[in-house]
Amino acid sequence: MVSMADKDFRRFSEFIHTECGIKLPTSKKTMVEARLQKRLRLLGMATFREYNDYIFSPSGLSEELSHLIDAITTNTTEFFRESKHFDIMRQVVLPHWVAMRGLVHPLRLWSAGCSSGEEPYTLAMVLSEYAEKSPGFRFSITATDISSQVLEKARRAVYPEDRVADMTYDLKRKYLLRSKDRLKKLVRIVPDLRERVTFSRLNFMEEFSFNDPMDIIFCRNVMIYFDRPTQETLLNKFCRQLRKDGHLFIGHSESLTGMDLPLRQVSPTVYRRT
């Protein structure tokens, strides 16, 4: 395996932090080396110095950045991950939203850092189930990620059967299709649910805005890869996109303690925009 000089790693990690917000301490050097071996082989490069020079060239930046991001980002997710959040959605957030906004406008939800789609499709199931019991309730889901590779997986919406093993029978029957070739042991999200989610690429480090404010933002287990100042900057961006009285959900390993944000805690890792 080709190794990376410390000088090259520092230059590389500073670039990734600036471009993506992801912090890469020295302890991640071996991981980065391993993940980028395939890129070196595909580009016919013998050293990381050569790869670094390519990345910092105008053509290299435009052609290689998306591949680089796909290689170094971690995309760990699952259906109904941190399930307590979905209970809070059903029991607290959605009734509050209907009481405040009525059923005239569709609820707008953003899954920020959606990875391969399990989170937004889970949210689509939860909201669809709620809509069945609340005639007139409508919703749309925007799902974004920095990695083009995982977004393609999300749009295909094909998953191994073992990824949905813990899902209830009723949800599987309503929202999943099994592969015609049973030996493949694959399932796919039904078309009606896929149409509820719009996927697009978004880099949190760039300026972004939506045509209309969001009612709910899910950004879970993404900020753990950022340093504290980057987290606070990003959360202020989220607040600008979140409707007053809207809700923000973060991961259970994440914290907003000590940050100056227009948010009030509703329950652990769930906040309301003030």
- Active-site residue numbers? 35, 145
Q: DSSP letters along the chain, please?
A: -----HHHHHHHHHHHHHHH-----GGGHHHHHHHHHHHHHHHT-S-HHHHHHHHTSHHHHHHHHHHHHHHH------TTTTTHHHHHIIIIIHHHHHHHHTTSS-EEEEEES-TTTHHHHHHHHHHHHHHHHSTT--EEEEEEES-HHHHHHHHHTEEEGGGGTTS-HHHHHHHEEE-SSGGG-EEEE-HHHHTTEEEEE--TTS----SS-EEEEEE-SSGGGS-HHHHHHHHHHHHHHEEEEEEEEE-TT---TT---SEEEEETTEEEE-
CA of 205: how far to CAs of 22, 90, 100, 235, 247, in Å? 10, 32, 32, 11, 22
